[in-house]
A and B are shown apart, each in its own frame.
Chain A
Amino acid sequence: MQYLFDPDNWEWLWTGNNFKFLLEGFAVNLEIAAIAMVLSFAFGLVLALLRISTARLISLPVGIWVDVWRNLPLVFIILYLALAIPSSWREAYGNAIPDFFPDALQDELVLGALLGLVLYNSAVLCEIMRSGIQSLDRGQREAAASLGLTYIQQMRFVVLPQGLRRMVPATVSQLITLNKDTTLVSIIAIQELVRHGNTVAATGFGVEVTAPILQVFIVVGLLFIAVNLALSRLSRRLEIRERKRTGTTLKTVRGLEDQVALESDTIVR
């Protein structure tokens, strides 16, 4: 305890560029999380629509694909891709990524990390969206069909707006999990917050104070806690307002790490 609160062990935080360096690392995490989330959402929506298809020839293979990816550990997927992606793909990524993207994402290694995060999270989001869509009363779609809407119009104007709205809490909880999971890309040597934390702890940046790894990573943890708490508070507020406005009910999904937490929050309120 004395070691933990000893001011000498905290001096690194306001010396030199240490804290700024940590924040720069955190920015990389948030960028990777944002890009992975957008891609997973788009890809997951496609998967969900294919999975609810009535043609078994489509829904069965998609179902297997989704179940395999979401039942494998994410670290496992990322490590495998880091070893298995052909270098030509990586070069193609390096050439294809636009210059206005942040420097950290220009690294060719980022391809494996993004691909792993998207494969895993799109499978999870597919399950979330599928259960949202299937929880709707089938009369909704039948009514839309009898009004003469095409399949695409039924989805676009009737099914998806209602189905996806029910899934907002589950999606946000997955976003928080995704944000935490971006630390895993440090394992394949991408320079983000965990790597920056190790650097700070190892060198202290040429200043004479030492930065003990315990204190450095407590700060790292606090950064994550702050952002994730803000995210969940914000979404809860939006969601309660939205629910009052539209009167939609909530739907839960099985197999989500953070689902139960949101479930209990809604019970209390």
Chain B
Amino acid sequence: MSELWGVLEEHLPEFSSGLWVTFRLVAASLLIAIVVGTLVAAMRVAPAKWLNRLGGVYVETFRNIPLLVLLIIMFAGIRRGGLLIDPWVAAIASLGLYTAAYIAEALRSGVFAVGKGQIDAALSLGLTYPRTMRRIVLPQAFRTVIPALSSLVIAMIKNSAIVGASLVALPDLLKQARQVQADTFQTGEVFFWAAVGYLLLTVTATIAFRYLEQTYAIKR
């Protein structure tokens, strides 16, 4: 038992810096994912057929490719192509674009839940299509899909560990834990505290989303 605390005491800087890197990675990727996801969702419900198709191709591509393969393409692949991409950029872009596909699908279901009547009403009042989306549909769609977004953010926190384990090797929580393990050989203790770190993040996200849900969600 004392060993358990000893590891934490001695290596707290590594663990906390790892946790901070994981947090920043998730936050930045979430931002990208929401922006791109909203655009793709808007494409998927747009009146133009070719936009629907394009959005569909995006979603099916990024939803069915393993994140690890995406990271290799984004980092090693692009570097080999001659562009010296920064590890952070590669990691955030991969995780963000990957999750964007799921967010787009969630939002699309939210848009369908808003109802055609409202869209027709807005259009007949003379609002343009982008404006209808931005002012009428998307605000409601977001509020409908808060529970789904909560699942996605938790999945994202878990997926962020793949970044530290892959060749991108940002010093995130998992990477730091492996480093401490390699130095101390206290496998059980080190992984216990890393697990606590991940559970801390997922539980915080769950609580935050529960609050958002109670305050803003539209029940259907």
A interface, CB within 8 angstroms of B: 3-4, 68, 71-76, 79-80, 83-84, 176, 180-181, 183-184, 186-187, 194, 197, 212-215, 217-218, 220-221, 224-225, 228-229, 232, 254-261, 263-264, 267-268
The distance in angstroms between the C-alpha atoms of A176 and B69, with both chains bound, is: 15
B interface, CB within 8 angstroms of A: 59-61, 63-70, 72-73, 76-78, 80-82, 102, 105-106, 108-109, 112-113, 145, 147-148, 150-152, 154-155, 157-162, 165-166, 174, 178, 181, 187-188, 191, 194-195, 198-199, 202-203
Residues from chain A with a CB closer than 8 A to the CB of B67 are: 180
**Contact in complex: A79, B165 (CB < 8 Å):** yes
Given contacts A80-B187, A213-B76, A260-B106, contact A75 B174 (CB under 8 A): yes
B72 in complex: contacting residue of A76, A213, A229, CB < 8 Å = A213
Q: Which of A80, A180, A254 has the most CB of B within 10 A?
A: A80
**Contact in complex: A221, B70 (CB < 8 Å):** yes
5 residue pairs A–B, Cβ–Cβ below 8 Å: A72-B199, A73-B162, A176-B64, A224-B69, A225-B60
**Contact in complex: A217, B73 (CB < 8 Å):** yes
Known: A225-B61, A261-B63. 14 other contacts (CB 8 A): A71-B198, A71-B203, A73-B160, A79-B165, A184-B68, A217-B73, A225-B60, A228-B63, A228-B64, A254-B150, A254-B151, A257-B152, A260-B102, A267-B112
A83 in complex: contacting residue of B69, B108, B155, B187, CB < 8 Å = B187
The distance in angstroms between the C-alpha atoms of A229 and B102, with both chains bound, is: 15
Residues from chain A with a CB closer than 8 A to the CB of B174 are: 73, 75-76, 79
CB nearest to B148 among chain A residues: A260
B202 in complex: contacting residue of A71, A80, A194, A261, CB < 8 Å = A71
The distance in angstroms between the C-alpha atoms of A29 and B76, with both chains bound, is: 22
**Contact in complex: B158, A268 (CB < 8 Å):** no
Give the distance to chain B from A175, nearest Cβ to Cβ, in Å.
12
The distance in angstroms between the C-alpha atoms of A205 and B63, with both chains bound, is: 31
Given contacts A73-B159, A83-B181, A84-B187, contact A261 B105 (CB under 8 A): yes
Given contacts A217-B73, A220-B69, contact A256 B64 (CB under 8 A): no
The distance in angstroms between the C-alpha atoms of A267 and B48, with both chains bound, is: 20
Residues from chain B with a CB closer than 8 A to the CB of A197 are: 72
**Contact in complex: B191, A80 (CB < 8 Å):** yes
The distance in angstroms between the C-alpha atoms of A3 and B83, with both chains bound, is: 11
The distance in angstroms between the C-alpha atoms of A186 and B69, with both chains bound, is: 11
Give the distance to chain A from B187, nearest Cβ to Cβ, in Å.
5
**Contact in complex: B165, A75 (CB < 8 Å):** yes
**Contact in complex: A79, B198 (CB < 8 Å):** no
CB nearest to A83 among chain B residues: B187
Given contacts A183-B66, A194-B68, A259-B148, contact A74 B188 (CB under 8 A): no
Residues from chain A with a CB closer than 8 A to the CB of B148 are: 259-260, 263
Give the distance to chain A from B117, nearest Cβ to Cβ, in Å.
16
Given contacts A73-B162, A214-B77, contact A186 B199 (CB under 8 A): no
Shortest beta-carbon contacts, A-B, top 4? A214-B77, A264-B109, A73-B161, A228-B64
**Contact in complex: A254, B147 (CB < 8 Å):** yes
**Contact in complex: B191, A180 (CB < 8 Å):** no
**Contact in complex: A264, B63 (CB < 8 Å):** no
**Contact in complex: A264, B165 (CB < 8 Å):** no
Residues from chain A with a CB closer than 8 A to the CB of B160 are: 73
Give the distance to chain B from A251, nearest Cβ to Cβ, in Å.
14
Residues from chain A with a CB closer than 8 A to the CB of B145 are: 260
Given contacts A225-B65, A229-B64, A260-B109, contact A76 B195 (CB under 8 A): yes
